[in-house]
Copies of this chain bind each other. A is one copy, B any other.
Amino acid sequence: MAAKPFAPVTSESIGDYLKAILELGGSEELRVTTKALAERLRVRTPSVTGMLQRLAAERPALVVYQKHHGVQLTAAGKRRAWELVRHHRLLELFLHDVLKYSWDEVHDEAERLEHFISERFEDRVAAILGDPEIDPHGHIIPHKYEAAACRDEVPLARWALQTPATISSVRDRDPAALREIERLGFMPGTGLVVERRNAASSLSVRIAGQADGMRISLDLAECIFVIAPAG
């Protein structure tokens, strides 16, 4: 949308920045760099600097911004960002379960719509889905007004060798990777062991209960998140 004289204090762009800061900061809420944001949002660094200054100047401030030292979300920024994450994950599950999207189709549509659905829409979707906890890719759907629960998940690429792991979630932004993950059977909940790291940027992995292992690329292993097996 354009520059109405009394633009809302939030916009699609602002939402995208806040969500990116949330996701790049991780559960430790590290300060996020200008460059990382520029890459994630596919804009140039001066655009990021400009937007961060705006977000910090907003009343109430949405980020804490120290020139040359990155940004963190304030409580207000976190609230908005988690709201968008909730919208995104609810929409993904809704598109998958109700509108029969395949799991690699849901991300792009959810990424667009998350900015435009009303609170009523959010509530009604949650209701017809039965207040779900987990989205189609295994991510926790945060509750309303609540910073999401976090899990100690790690990309499979960094999991210790020979140590049982359970797939907790998969990155949702790459349709090709998602199709590959599905084809190979790496669905959330699946147990596995990394047997060794090979020279050619690949990992030898064996799924629990299967005799044969398989090789997957490190790139793919960066898209699969694992936790220690339950119990």
Q: Which residues of A contact B (CB under 8 A)?
A: 1-2, 12-13, 95, 98-101, 105, 108-109, 112-113, 116-118, 120-121, 124-125, 128
The 4 residue pairs across chains A and B that have the minimum distance between CB atoms: A99-B124, A116-B116, A112-B116, A109-B118
Interface majority SS on A: helix, strand, loop or mixed? helix
Q: Shortest beta-carbon distance, A8 to chain B, in Å?
A: 12
List, in ascending order, chain B residues with CB within 8 A of A99's CB: 121, 124-125, 128
* A126 → chain B closest CB, angstroms: 10
Minimum CB–CB distance from A183 to chain B (whole Å) comes to 21
Least Cβ–Cβ distance between A26 and chain B, in angstroms: 28
User: Could you tell me if B98 and A128 are in contact, using CB atoms closer than 8 angstroms?
Assistant: yes
Please tell me how many copies of the chain the complex holds: 2
A101 to B127, CA, bound (A): 12
CB of A116 within 8 A of CB of B118, answer no
Q: Is the CB of A124 within 8 A of B112?
A: no
In the bound assembly, the distance between CA atoms of A112 and B112 in angstroms comes to 12
Please give, as numbers and ranges, the residues of chain B lying within 8 Å of A108 by CB-CB distance: 118
Measured CB to CB, the closest approach of chain B to A1, in angstroms, equals 6
23 contacts between A and B (CB under 8 A): A1-B1, A1-B12, A1-B13, A95-B121, A98-B98, A98-B128, A99-B121, A99-B124, A99-B125, A99-B128, A100-B128, A101-B120, A101-B124, A105-B120, A108-B118, A109-B117, A109-B118, A109-B120, A109-B121, A113-B113, A113-B116, A113-B117, A116-B116
